[in-house]
Amino acid sequence: MKTYLLSNTHFLTNLIIQLLYILSLVMLVRSKSVSFTTTLIHRDSPTSPFYDPSLTLSWRVVAAMNRSFDRARVFSSMRSGVTNIFPNPQLANYLMKISIGTPPQDIIGVADTGSDIIWTQCEPCSYCFNQTRPVYKPRVSSTYNTTTCGSTTCMSVPVRSCTTNDNTCLYVVQYGDFSYSSGELATETVTLDSNVTGISFAFTNVVFGCGHRNAGMFTEDQSGIIGLGGGPFSLITQMGSSINGKFSYCLVQMFSHVERSSKMYFGDAATVSGDGVVSTPLFSGNPGTFYYLNFEGITVGGQRIDFYTTKPTLVEGNIIIDSGTSLTLLPESFYNRVQSAVRRSMPDILPVHSDPQNNLRLCYNPLEVKDLPVMVAHFNGADLELDPINTFVQLSNDSICLAFAPVDGVVIFGNLAQMNFLVGYDLYKKTVSFKRTDCVKL
């Protein structure tokens, strides 16, 4: 195995400590930036800790719709200023493997663009949920270090406290369903395996939570959470200049292809270029966890529906782009106009119904529908052509439904709408780019 070691600070100290590990099998590269690919596991794929073979496809789809609404509720409280709450771990859609420590200890965590902090269960456990993999042991790692209470790192954590004996910074992070993790705020070397077998990349001094008390809705084969949001302690932000502020993902078509892994790219590998690329400005907002875009409207069957009926003079980020919410959630009045336009674009005689939970309001019988409309989502500077796989979801043999829903609160561009696009974030240029791609083929 080769490991490319990347350092932000304490390079020399760490170099010495890591030398033993490095000398055995590893190549040290001093290059400032890296480029690599890793794998996202869908929560419903057979390799996921959440996988339950007894669930029917239809149940999984309905559960994903339910999660969208629960997640939107947590996002709304985050937006309204409730700090230190993140979406329930059960509500995310993807998982990722990383390693922590020297030598590396494997972690399978929920990878969530709606969450900022990386944490893992950590020995000694005062209270841990059952975990099938070994719990991370800081004692056997040469690169584990705690942070001190007065440090700027510690001061950036919204809910923190301090040990009385040695001034160690303690964190608490909570989730919308009252799950929580607390423990030492620490730094470690985090290693990600690239898609090229045997090559991995090590990032030193990554701030993470060594969780001694963790409880709530976690599953046994999960060790913690890997925050991919925009906050200071997310994995993305901490990789920072090493990846030139660039990451991208390509999500394979959900439900029909969940057994295939989706890909996530970092650094130059995350560049989205070539024919058919469209780009739109990326905004930061409050909370800084989310990635915000400017949404301008949708065209259905040739009819454009503007998001604003009177154009505001200044709009900076009126929609969150999220990989963990399946549905696209829209304000009620705008949703109603889109729904009417979709109905108008379909033959009049087709009967419509809403799904039994009344989550999705415009459903057709798949046997009666010949063609579903192509829609175009308009972002500032980017017209994104959405295929029916992006805009409709088959709930059962009787129902294929518009995968948009009305909400009160945050507006979210969901992951069904992003399936089979390469979606690239450039945090330095502040853009998000889209390119139609068959993600299974990557």
Ligand X SMILES: *[C@@H]1O[C@H](CO)[C@@H](O)[C@H](O)[C@H]1NC(C)=O
Residues 344-363 interacting with ligand X (rule: CB under 6 A): 357
Single residue of 11, 59, 127, 308 touching ligand X by CB under 6 A:
59
Residue 341 or 423: the one with the smaller Cβ distance to ligand X is 423
- CB 376 to ligand X: min, Å: 29
- Rounded to a whole number of angstroms, the CA Rg of the chain reads 22
Measure CA 403 to chain center.
19
Residue ranges with strand state E in 138-198: 145-146, 160-162, 169-175, 180-193
Single residue of 269, 319, 321, 405 touching ligand X by CB under 6 A:
269
Single residue of 119, 233, 247, 265 touching ligand X by CB under 6 A:
265
| Of 60-68, 173-181, 371-379, 380-388: span binding ligand X (CB under 6 A) | 60-68
Residue 74 or 342: the one with the smaller Cβ distance to ligand X is 74
CB under 8 A, 24+ apart: contacts of 124-128: 124/212, 125/212, 125/213, 125/214, 126/212, 126/213, 127/212, 127/213, 127/214, 127/215, 128/211, 128/212, 128/213, 128/214
Which residues make Cβ contacts (< 8 Å) with residue 327, sequence separation at least 6? 65, 68, 69, 360, 403, 404, 405, 412, 414, 416
Q: Does 62 engage in binding with ligand X (CB under 6 A)?
A: yes
Q: Does 405 engage in binding with ligand X (CB under 6 A)?
A: no
Residue 63 or 440: the one with the smaller Cβ distance to ligand X is 63
- CB 65 to ligand X: min, Å: 7
**Spatial separation of the C-alpha atoms in residues 58 and 265, rounded to whole Å:** 31
- Interface map 146-175 toward ligand X (x if CB under 6 A): ------------------------------
Measured at the alpha carbon of residue 16, what is the angle toward residues 10 and 19, in degrees to the nearest 5? 125
Residue 178 or 308: the one with the smaller Cβ distance to ligand X is 178
Three-state SS for 287-352 is CCCCEEECEEEEEECCEEEECCCCCCCCCCCCEEECCCCCCEEEEHHHHHHHHHHHHHHCCCCCCC
Nearest to 147 by CA among 165, 125, 166: 166
> For the stretch 388-413, what's the b/e string if a residue is b when 16 or more beta carbons lie within 10 angstroms of its beta carbon?
ebbbbbbbbeebbbbbbbebeebbbb
Residue 228 or 338: the one with the smaller Cβ distance to ligand X is 228
- CB 38 to ligand X: min, Å: 9
- CB 197 to ligand X: min, Å: 7
Single residue of 10, 353, 361, 429 touching ligand X by CB under 6 A:
10
Q: Does 365 engage in binding with ligand X (CB under 6 A)?
A: no
Note if 322 is an active site residue.
yes
Q: Does 242 engage in binding with ligand X (CB under 6 A)?
A: no
Residue 135 or 269: the one with the smaller Cβ distance to ligand X is 269
Note if 112 is an active site residue.
yes
Q: Does 130 engage in binding with ligand X (CB under 6 A)?
A: yes
Please tell me which residue in 44, 116, 193, 322 is annotated as part of the active site: 322
Single residue of 15, 26, 63, 369 touching ligand X by CB under 6 A:
63
Q: Does 66 engage in binding with ligand X (CB under 6 A)?
A: yes
**Spatial separation of the C-alpha atoms in residues 101 and 107, rounded to whole Å:** 10
Q: Does 145 engage in binding with ligand X (CB under 6 A)?
A: yes
Structure tokens at 84: 């230190």
Structure tokens at 242: 């090493």
Residues 213-232 interacting with ligand X (rule: CB under 6 A): none
Secondary structure (3-state) at 215: strand
Q: Does 273 engage in binding with ligand X (CB under 6 A)?
A: no
Q: Does 375 engage in binding with ligand X (CB under 6 A)?
A: no
Please tell me which residue in 44, 112, 193, 355 is annotated as part of the active site: 112
Q: How many residues bind ligand X (CB under 6 A)?
A: 15
Residue 350 has a CB neighbour count (10 Å cut-off) of: 12
| Of 58-66, 272-280, 346-354, 366-374: span binding ligand X (CB under 6 A) | 58-66
Nearest to 325 by CA among 411, 392, 230: 411
Find the residue with minimal CB distance to ligand X: 269
- CB 316 to ligand X: min, Å: 32
Q: At residue 65, what is the residue type?
A: M
Residue 70 or 385: the one with the smaller Cβ distance to ligand X is 70
Q: Check if the beta carbon of residue 416 is closer than 8 Å to that of residue 329.
A: no
Residue 380 has a CB neighbour count (10 Å cut-off) of: 16
Catalytic residues: 112, 322
Residues that bind ligand X (CB under 6 A): 10, 13, 37, 59, 62-63, 66, 130, 145, 195-196, 265, 269, 357, 397
